[in-house]
Every structure is written in structure tokens, then in C-alpha cells.
Chains A and B, each alone.
Chain A
């Protein structure tokens, strides 16, 4: 099959590496036909998870057929290249929704499994892998095996969150959740500082199925951690105004695309501070619950195509970590202080409560709070500051999310992911020659003897 050698990157546009791309269109062409292969869906992981410098990258975007949708049981089976954006217009009109969704719908099912993604409902419903009924995995020797929580469970839980390193995810069977409308009922709460924000997010009275908080990380001192907590649940069709028409259909809005790279200086502490002030007042002032289409609610950034160009040509790093429940408040405060002290502006800063540790061996979520920061790359020691953040995270027993990562050290990785050796034992049993490897797996030293 034809190979295209070219430079590619993840969503953060850092790092950029030369890879050999192959784009099969037939299911039978999904296989590891060379020494080093990694599957890549939509390239929405931020760093080097779907890069393979000087190695093969198998694009799954054309292997995207939906194979079965049981509208009675809410079970969807599709090839791993299928995106959530393709699935939603099929399932929502039939009264079903994704059990878990990340902040963009332009991700493949395979990517959702490989990164064991979480959404705003992690504290209630767990991560993506918890709703996968079964997978078909294409192994290094070319065999195609089914795995699920009951069939080959070790392989299944190594693959869920396994960053594509156990094999190529071919098919995913997913259990959906029922909804009666395509709308969300949303309630915002402004918080003047981190303490208030934690109080709101942790308040069982106010808690809803979906919760997330936006943080103004330029605010310091007594306002450190000020932000807006946003709660939501699927609106009941019976409570919608009749003027909306069919409750399962939301009229689509036109999306815009950022046509070019913004110069690096556009996003600076001044401009971000001005935006943050506006956003805090605007969103924080919404005291009453309001209705929102599911697209607007779950995927606000998807309405601006290629928004990653906002950070300029050099790209950005998304730093997402979790700090366990017990010391979450102190840990997050330390992280924000470090950030605030460096006068570094993160355009996007998100705080979210996570539920129990997932079952995937390399799954990111653990009970506690997760903080995600978008940090543009400049010549100013960002990477050394991120190493300091790693130390804080490690000190509190937390971890960094591999799907976002571009720079974690192998040593920190092993300290953060205690089930690493268990994962490696499974990998060695099915992929002894380490055919499934990526730039991320080499950087983190995920290979060899456990």
C-alpha cells in the first residue's frame, strides 16, 4: 500500500516529526505490516501519542463504518475510525447518547478507547472504557481477537487506556445511554476563589451528572482559583418549551474555521486577562438554569475549526494532571500558584472532579481533581516549569494524562502509573517484538522486560 512520508504533529502542534503514513480503506488492510506501527485516528491527542518518528503511522480515518445499531438496547458497534461527530447524528434522534464524551467530538472511537477518555460525568459514570462491551483487536501476529471485561480481560484492560500499544483497535461495541431530548439543562455558579470552587464542585446537593469548572488562572492572591462551575444534565423532553419542536433534534449551527496561525503574541497575559474578566462576568452572571443544545454544551471549541492555530506556529502543550482526593485542594493550589507566579497565561484552564480509579492498567483517572492547562510554547522555560509541576503532582500521588502529554520523563511516568509492569507483562505476551510503538512509548520507555 502507498506510503506518504511527511511531517505531522498531534493537536498541540508540538512536537512535529517525520512519519510514514499509511491510510487503509479496507478493514482487512488494518494490520502491523512493519517493525514499528502506531494507529492514529483523528490526531487529537495533543503530544506524541499518535506519532512514530521515522516509523509507520496507520491512519484509521477511512475505516469508519458503523456496523450495527440496536435502537432497542442502545448498543452501537462500529469500526474504530468512526468519529463521535459521525455517531451523534445517528444515535441522538433515536433517543440515545454517548455514555462518556471528551470535550471534542472530532475523535475516533479507537482513540477514545486507547486514551480511556473521560468527560464531565466521570465522577458519576466513569471513563469511556467502562461502557465498552467488547473490542476487536488486531494483534502483532495479524490475528484478530475479541476482548471484553469477561473475555480476555487482561488484554481488554491493557488496551483500554493502553495508548494503542497492545494492537490496532478494529471494532468497538459501545453501550449508549438513553435520553429524551438533545438539550442540556445547565446551571452556572461563580466562585471568587479556589476554596469556593472546590466547595461548589464537591457539594453533593448541587452536584449533577455533568460538572466542570473553568478557572481564571491569571487571578492570584485572594482570588487565586476564581472561576465558574458549570453543572448540567440531559433535559427531559417534557420540560422543554414546545417551540423547540422535535426534542431530539437541535438545529445545526454553522461552524467557522481559523484560517491561519495567529501570531504568537496575540495570546498574552493582557489579552487573556481581558478575556478571563469578560468570561467570568458573563458566565458567572447566569444565575438561572438555561437550556443548551448538546453540541454547544459538550463541544464549545468544536465550533471553531483548527482552534489549535490560535497558539501560533510553535504550538502549545496541554498539561493535564490529577491530584488524589485527600490532598487535591492543596495540590491544585500549589500548581496554580506556580503558574500564577510565572505570569504564564493559560487560555484554557479546566478543573474537574474525577470519580473512582478506572480499571484500565494505564488509565489516567483516579478519584480526585483534575486540572488541565493550555500553555503556548515560547522560548521561556515552559518545559522546566512543567517539570516543577510534575514534582508537585508526584508529591501528592497524582499523575499526568498521557493523551495530552508531550514531555513527561520515563522516570516520572513509572512513578505515576503503578500498574505499568502489569501492563508490560500483557504487552510482552502478545507483542514480544514491540511492533506497536510510538514516539510516546519510546520517550516513556514503555517496552522491554517488566
Chain B
């Protein structure tokens, strides 16, 4: 019997593909997000395609004071959880760097909100000595670049947070997996120039759903991004600061 999976930020293409892949494996699904027009449609689709139980509810990453009650209501409704996928993210752009009021939003959504809900999730799974937490971070968090460093900083902080959480929960047998997607063919990237080796959300979702059964702690998706980022991380700073990235 596969236990229910909570998808946080369930309306993005990657989240939807991940929910599909978990449902295909027989997991019931709880979809959490802000768009109450989309959530029932995605929920219906999962039920029709995979015959699993699907619930959904409103969740706002930035409203951190609601997170504890939210998670408890999901646990009650689903009769326990087997795992959580944190899939929300908010890519500001250049504006975020110039205007901190916008940058604060990027940090609040990608990091503060994530850290808040993940702390509640960790407290739930730790005593159960079971379960998984998958956080979707980004390769943008591996090194700061002028084109998206506010987003990158928030995602980098998320990666560090997940790393610490993994260390804490290791002894409880709870898996904590950091996912770092490269370019994925989503609404976030559609029409952007200069992308290469763009992966399909279906492929990424499938890899994410397989991750709890595999041993990797940090998953670059697709795999070759591990090596691309390895190179990028090792460019000496005196050179890197001159690059237009």
C-alpha cells in the first residue's frame, strides 16, 4: 500500500507531472496551491487517469502562520502522509535585484515559505521514522549570477536547508532529497532564448517520483546538469565575475 503524497505548489508543469508519476504508482495525492480554478481540474484528471483518491486545498507559501494548521488538516484528511514534494517556486527576474520589495517576495516564496512548511513536515515525519521529503530547488542556487541572483540566493538557501534537514532526519530513516532541475520545458521557460538541452516535465516528474526508491540525496535533472554545474562552480571568481551569465 503506497501512502498519500502531498504536492505543495501543485499547478506547475513539473508538479503536475510529478503528481502523475506518483499516482501511476498508486499513491493517493493531496494537491496544495493557490489557484482554486486549476486545482480541481488537476485533481479530476489524476482520478480519471489513475483511479487514485485525490484531494486539494488552498495553500499560500507566504502565509507562514497558516502552515501548521494546513499540514494538520491534510494529515487528518488523508489519514497520514507517506511523503511531501515541495514544488512551488517563484522566479522573479531582474526587477527583483533592483527593487527589494519584489525581491523580498522572491525570498519569501522560495525560501522563507519553504523553510516554514518543511519544518512542520519534518516534525511530522521524524517520530514516524518513515517517509520522504523532496524539495525542488534549482541549479540557479549553485552559483550566483547577475541574471537571477535573488532567485538563486533563495534557492541556494533552500538547498542548504534541505542539506541540514537531511542530516537531522537521517537517524530517523526519513529521506530528504534535493532536486535541482536544469532547463525544463515549462511556462517559466517557454519562449526564452538561449536555452539548451531542455527536458520535458514528464521526464522530470518521473525521475522525481522514482527518487524515494533510489539512494541519491541530491538529484540533478537531467543528470548531466551535475557536471555542467560542477564546471560552473569551479570557474575562479576573478574570471566568473567578468562573465555575462
A interface, CB within 8 angstroms of B? 1-4, 21, 23-28, 62, 65-69, 79, 86, 90
> Which A residues touch B35, using CB under 8 A?
26
Contact residues, B140-197 vs A (CB, 8 A): 186-187, 190-192
User: A2 and B37: CB pair below 8 A?
Assistant: no
B243 within 8 A of A: no
User: A66 and B48: CB pair below 8 A?
Assistant: yes
B202 to chain A, nearest CB (A): 11
B230 within 8 A of A: no
- Stretch in contact with the other chain, from B39-47, B111-119, B127-135: B39-47
B15 to chain A, nearest CB (A): 11
Q: Out of B13, B45, B49, name the residue touching A25 (CB < 8 Å).
A: B13
User: B190 and A4: CB pair below 8 A?
Assistant: yes
> Which A residues touch B44, using CB under 8 A?
65-68
B11 within 8 A of A: yes
A249 to B169 alpha-carbon distance, docked (Å): 43
User: B190 and A65: CB pair below 8 A?
Assistant: no
A79 to B11 alpha-carbon distance, docked (Å): 16
Given A26-B11, A26-B37, A2 contacting B45 (CB threshold 8 A): no
Q: Out of A25, A66, A79, A90, name the residue touching B187 (CB < 8 Å).
A: A25
User: A66 and B11: CB pair below 8 A?
Assistant: no
Q: Give 25 A-B contacts (CB < 8 Å), ordered by A residue.
A: A1-B187, A2-B187, A2-B190, A3-B191, A24-B187, A25-B11, A25-B12, A25-B13, A25-B187, A26-B35, A27-B37, A27-B41, A28-B37, A28-B38, A65-B41, A65-B42, A65-B45, A66-B49, A67-B41, A67-B44, A67-B48, A68-B48, A69-B48, A86-B49, A90-B49
Q: What bracket does the count of chain B residues touching chain A fall in?
A: 10 to 19
Closest residue of B by beta carbon distance from A26: B38
- Seed contacts A4-B190, A25-B11, A67-B44; 16 additional CB < 8 Å A-B pairs: A2-B187, A2-B190, A2-B192, A3-B191, A4-B191, A21-B191, A26-B11, A26-B38, A27-B37, A28-B38, A62-B13, A65-B42, A66-B44, A66-B45, A68-B44, A90-B49
Given A65-B42, A67-B44, A90-B48, A23 contacting B37 (CB threshold 8 A): no
> Which B residues touch A66, using CB under 8 A?
44-45, 48-49
> Which B residues touch A23, using CB under 8 A?
187, 190
A26 to B187 alpha-carbon distance, docked (Å): 10
A25 to B41 alpha-carbon distance, docked (Å): 12
Interface centre among A3, A28, A66, A86 (most CB of B within 10 A): A66
A428 to chain B, nearest CB (A): 31
B186 to chain A, nearest CB (A): 8
Interface centre among B11, B49, B190, B192 (most CB of A within 10 A): B190
A415 to chain B, nearest CB (A): 41
A4 to B195 alpha-carbon distance, docked (Å): 13
Q: Is the interface of A mostly helix, strand, loop or mixed?
A: mixed
Binary per-residue interface labels of chain B (202-242) against chain A in the complex, 1 for a CB within 8 Å, 0 otherwise: 00000000000000000000000000000000000000000
Closest residue of B by beta carbon distance from A93: B51
A295 to B45 alpha-carbon distance, docked (Å): 23
Binary per-residue interface labels of chain B (32-68) against chain A in the complex, 1 for a CB within 8 Å, 0 otherwise: 0001011001101100110000000000000000000
B12 to chain A, nearest CB (A): 8
> Which A residues touch B186, using CB under 8 A?
25
User: A27 and B45: CB pair below 8 A?
Assistant: no
Closest residue of B by beta carbon distance from A91: B48
A62 to B184 alpha-carbon distance, docked (Å): 14
Interface centre among A24, A65, A66, A90 (most CB of B within 10 A): A65
> Which A residues touch B42, using CB under 8 A?
65
User: B13 and A79: CB pair below 8 A?
Assistant: no
A3 to B192 alpha-carbon distance, docked (Å): 9
A244 to B186 alpha-carbon distance, docked (Å): 41
> Which B residues touch A90, using CB under 8 A?
48-49
User: B13 and A67: CB pair below 8 A?
Assistant: no
A327 to B45 alpha-carbon distance, docked (Å): 48
User: B11 and A2: CB pair below 8 A?
Assistant: no
A213 to chain B, nearest CB (A): 36
B23 to chain A, nearest CB (A): 12
Closest residue of A by beta carbon distance from B42: A65
A210 to chain B, nearest CB (A): 27
Q: Out of A1, A27, A67, A69, name the residue touching B38 (CB < 8 Å).
A: A27
Closest residue of A by beta carbon distance from B40: A67
> Which A residues touch B187, using CB under 8 A?
1-2, 23-25
A65 to B191 alpha-carbon distance, docked (Å): 23
Closest residue of B by beta carbon distance from A5: B191
- For the complex of A and B, 7 pairs with smallest distance between CB atoms: A2-B191, A65-B45, A4-B191, A66-B48, A65-B41, A69-B48, A2-B190
Closest residue of A by beta carbon distance from B188: A2
A340 to B49 alpha-carbon distance, docked (Å): 48
Binary per-residue interface labels of chain B (5-29) against chain A in the complex, 1 for a CB within 8 Å, 0 otherwise: 0000001110000000000000000
Q: Out of B12, B45, B190, B191, name the residue touching A67 (CB < 8 Å).
A: B45
> Which B residues touch A27, using CB under 8 A?
37-38, 41
B203 to chain A, nearest CB (A): 15
A69 to B50 alpha-carbon distance, docked (Å): 12
B46 to chain A, nearest CB (A): 9
B52 to chain A, nearest CB (A): 13
A56 to B187 alpha-carbon distance, docked (Å): 17
Interface centre among B12, B13, B35, B48 (most CB of A within 10 A): B48
Given A26-B35, A69-B48, A79 contacting B41 (CB threshold 8 A): yes
A335 to chain B, nearest CB (A): 43
A40 to chain B, nearest CB (A): 15
Closest residue of A by beta carbon distance from B201: A62
Closest residue of B by beta carbon distance from A23: B190
Closest residue of A by beta carbon distance from B192: A2
> Which A residues touch B190, using CB under 8 A?
2, 4, 23
A140 to B204 alpha-carbon distance, docked (Å): 36
A3 to B187 alpha-carbon distance, docked (Å): 10
> Which B residues touch A28, using CB under 8 A?
37-38
A27 to B35 alpha-carbon distance, docked (Å): 11
B129 to chain A, nearest CB (A): 37
